[in-house]
Amino acid sequence: MAQSRLGSALDTGVEYRVFVDREWYHRERRLLWEGPVWVALALEAECPPGRSYSTFFGDRPAWVEQDGSGGWTARLADGRPLKVTAFQGVLFASGSANPPALAEYLGPRTMRYLERIFSRPIEVLGHHHQAIDANWKLYAENVRDQYHAGLLHRFYQVFGINRVSQRGEVYLDGPGWHHVLAVWRGDEDPTDRAAVEREHNYRGAGAWQLSDASLLAVETEFDDGVTQQIQTVFPNLVVQQIGNTLAIRRIVPQGPQAMDLWWTYFGYRDDSLSLRRKRLLQANLIGPGGLVSMEDAEAVECVQRAIASDPRGRSIMAMGGREVADSPHRFTETAVRGFWRGYQELMQIQAPPATRGA
């Protein structure tokens, strides 16, 4: 059957057609988005009492609201109800008749890192959203690809926010399709750091300085020393702590070759004024300032254009091996492979042995 060949052999490679094919996109709607998954809808803090909050479930408009007894209800635009469960103030919905228990779906590590960020009452600081001309799965790969930040985001490298010479670890969960990247900015190998700086000097970047360095003044607020946490929950949630910028990002597909990324920034209700100012200032760096998130969008759009020009091609994701396992460093595509493992299972793709491996 032609359709079942789409996306075959996903252990180390993906057929490009899964990023462009319209029929496949509709199959995803049914098997993945309405399958036994929990889709992040919103933060409880975004939903004012007594009012419906407008959001998306996959690519479909949905509404969520608090019911009279303190629980939550959600429905699609056609009125069909969704199951809703909250964890640490994040609202997840499922369209499946028989979804797994949320705790079982998330796994212990995912829960632990969500608890780390949502450790006390939060306050929403603002929103923005980004239209990206690429398939949603390319963005899902981007946030799970842990080495690109040190290559793509020059601001990160030059000013030491995130460099490959800093300690970074990758943890997988549930079973492999969610991930956490933790980076310790203060834990940087001096030899590696010197090599990274030589590379910047070679490219003429060594003399760059900021007229106003306040953007780099990160206040330590977590006692584990982690300065950057990027966490995903399959299929659509990204949770970030980058310096003092706390946010969730929700991936909303918009057809096979387009998506929107919805950002919600937040702080803690007990933030000091100076910490609150830092959160707002640093939000410019990652978001609308154009230095980080727009570079990610640009990168996935370049990939989408290349894929669309050769839909019979196939990707390879064997960096750092073929395992779906934790990694004590960032030079690996383990979390990308984990995403595709979950995807393959939900989309009921059989990987034919003859074409396994790259």
- For Fe ion, which stretch binds (CB under 5 A), given 100-108, 269-277, 290-298, 336-344? 290-298
The long-range contacts involving 270-273, CB below 8 angstroms and separated by at least 24 positions, are 270/120, 270/121, 271/123
Least separation in angstroms between residue 141's CB and Fe ion is 11
Considering the complex, state which of residue 15 and residue 296 has its C-beta at the smaller distance from Fe ion: 296
Closest to 303 (Cα-Cα) out of 315, 319, 292, 317: 315
Residue 296 makes contact with Fe ion by CB under 5 A: yes
Residue 178 is which amino acid? Answer: H
Residues with Cβ within 8 Å of 46's Cβ and at least 6 positions away in sequence, in order, are 53, 124, 264
Least separation in angstroms between residue 283's CB and Fe ion is 16
Least separation in angstroms between residue 319's CB and Fe ion is 16
Residues with Cβ within 8 Å of 292's Cβ and at least 6 positions away in sequence, in order, are 153, 155, 156, 242, 285, 286
Query: What is the rounded CA–CA span in Å between residue 93 and residue 79?
Result: 14
Considering the complex, state which of residue 46 and residue 296 has its C-beta at the smaller distance from Fe ion: 296
Residue number of the CB atom closest to Fe ion: 296
Considering the complex, state which of residue 6 and residue 226 has its C-beta at the smaller distance from Fe ion: 226
Q: Please state whether the peptide bond connecting residue 175 to the residue before it is cis, i.e. omega within 30 degrees of 0.
A: yes
Considering the complex, state which of residue 11 and residue 296 has its C-beta at the smaller distance from Fe ion: 296
- For Fe ion, which stretch binds (CB under 5 A), given 104-112, 172-180, 274-282, 289-297? 289-297
Residue 21 makes contact with Fe ion by CB under 5 A: no
Least separation in angstroms between residue 272's CB and Fe ion is 29
Residue 34 makes contact with Fe ion by CB under 5 A: no
Closest to 167 (Cα-Cα) out of 149, 148, 193, 187: 187
Least separation in angstroms between residue 242's CB and Fe ion is 10
Site for Fe ion in 249-268 (CB under 5 A): none
Least separation in angstroms between residue 59's CB and Fe ion is 23
* Strand order from edge to edge, sheet including 122-132: 122-132, 259-268, 245-253, 237-242, 228-233, 178-188, 166-173
Considering the complex, state which of residue 18 and residue 292 has its C-beta at the smaller distance from Fe ion: 292
- For Fe ion, which stretch binds (CB under 5 A), given 99-107, 158-166, 204-212, 296-304? 296-304
Residue 28 makes contact with Fe ion by CB under 5 A: no
* C-alpha pair distances (Å), 235 with each of 100, 143, 223: 14, 12, 30
Site for Fe ion in 61-80 (CB under 5 A): none
Least separation in angstroms between residue 44's CB and Fe ion is 28
Length of the chain: 358
Residue 145 makes contact with Fe ion by CB under 5 A: no
Considering the complex, state which of residue 17 and residue 185 has its C-beta at the smaller distance from Fe ion: 185
Q: Both ends of the chain: CA-CA distance in Å?
A: 23
Query: Which letter does DSSP use for residue 45 in this model?
Result: G
Task: Tokens for 47, please give them.
Answer: 């939903």
- For Fe ion, which stretch binds (CB under 5 A), given 172-180, 198-206, 220-228, 291-299? 291-299
Least separation in angstroms between residue 299's CB and Fe ion is 7
Considering the complex, state which of residue 82 and residue 292 has its C-beta at the smaller distance from Fe ion: 292
Q: Please state whether the peptide bond connecting residue 235 to the residue before it is cis, i.e. omega within 30 degrees of 0.
A: yes
Residues in touch with Fe ion (CB under 5 A): 296
